Structure 1
Amino acid sequence: MIRHAAPADAAAATALWHTCALTRPWNDPAADFARALACPTATVLLLEQAGAPIGTVMAGYDGHRGWLYYLAVDPAHQRQGHARALVQAACPFLQQQGCPKVELMVRNGNPATALYQHLGWQRQDVEVWGLTLQP
């Protein structure tokens, strides 16, 4: 079952993100989770099996593009179509927000590139640059 996460799901979702090595010291995953739930054009979708969270994806629309973050599936449940199901659930949410195109960023060395290619995503010819606004 895939559902929209609630504030009470924060600990389970962020624990899964740590398990899947998606966190970085410069990003506070609990704050990312809370900001997504506070934004009307963003959500965190939670995949549950037997009442336990086994997958997530964060989806948000900024008015120009939709973005996916924190696509995570518990390692014990990978390669069973769960990531595909989460992405397929996130895209209609973004379309409902008026989003014309969805993108995602994959860090160099992340083995998920094969997954995204398998799901029909195409590498874009762009560079991503960043500026940290908060310490």
Structure 2
Amino acid sequence: MKIRPFQPADEDTVIGLWQACGLTRPWNDPHRDIQRKLGEQPELFLVAVEGETLIGTAMVGFDGHRGWVYYLAVSPQHRRLSLGRALMQEAERLLTERGCPKINLLVRSSNTEVLAFYDKLGYTRDDVVSLGRRLIHDH
């Protein structure tokens, strides 16, 4: 397995992977999410490939204060092979290189399998409430 930056030719496969992993939502256009990421730190949009097959993604960002990871996804057929761990290790390495002191990510509270995955990686739950307000409506 190799981890490399996203390439435009990956777009349809990436979106198919996100859909297979249940990461897409009707209010977020994944094509627009990708285009937005390509405008900001595109080198931090990671894909995992095995040969020519795209099997994982991680959309990483650093705002100068905190690092963030979105769209961590591993193909259902390739799970339990430490690919998610490898993507997170690469995200942490790239953020550390940039001087990032802390990484944050959001997980739906009902997603117990993913919460257990991050627990195993040493992530802890912060005592915070995530708030949001949509500024641009995709749909």
TM-score normalised by L of structure 2 = 0.92
Q: Is the Cα contact below 8 Å between 2:67 and 2:102 reproduced in 1?
A: yes
Match of 1:132 among 117, 134, 138: 134
Opposite residue 70 of structure 1, the aligned amino acid is: Y
Task: Name the CA distance, whole Å, in 2 between partners of 1:4 and 1:36.
Answer: 12
RMSD of aligned C-alpha atoms?
Answer: 1.3
* Partners of 1:42 and 1:61 within 8 A in 2: no
**Residue in 2 that maps onto 1:115:** 117
Matching residue of 1:101: 102
Establish whether residue 72 from structure 1 lines up as the match of residue 73 from structure 2.
yes
How do 1:1-135 residues align onto structure 2 when only pairs under 5 Å count? 1-40=2-41, 43-110=44-111, 111-135=113-137
Q: Report the number of matched residues.
A: 135
Give the ranges of 4+ consecutive aligned residues of structure 1 lying more than 3 Å apart after TM superposition.
none
**Distance change (3 Å), C-alpha of 1:128 and 1:42:** farther
Task: Give the superposition deviation at 1:37.
Answer: 1.9
Percent identity between the aligned chains? 46
Mapped partners of 2:42, 2:13: distance in 1: 22
Q: CA deviation at 1:98?
A: 2.8
C-alpha displacement of 1:42: 6.1
Deviations 1:77-103 (A, max 9, x none): 101100000000111112233321111
Instruction: Please say if residues 64 and 99 of structure 1, whose CA atoms lie closer than 8 Å, have aligned partners that are also in contact.
Output: yes
Q: Are 1:44 and 1:56, in contact at CA under 8 Å, matched by a contact in 2?
A: yes
Point out where structure 1 has 5 or more consecutive residues left out of the alignment. none
Q: Per chain length, whose mean CA-contact separation is higher, i.e. which structure has more relative contact order (CA < 8 Å, sep 6+)?
A: 2
1:56-114 per-position Cα deviation (integer Å, ceiling 9, x unaligned): 11100112110000010000110110000000011111223332111100012112000
> Secondary structure at 2:44's aligned position in 1?
strand
Return the alpha-carbon distance in structure 2 between the equivalents of residues 58 and 105 of structure 1: 12
Distance 2:56 2:82 in 1: 11
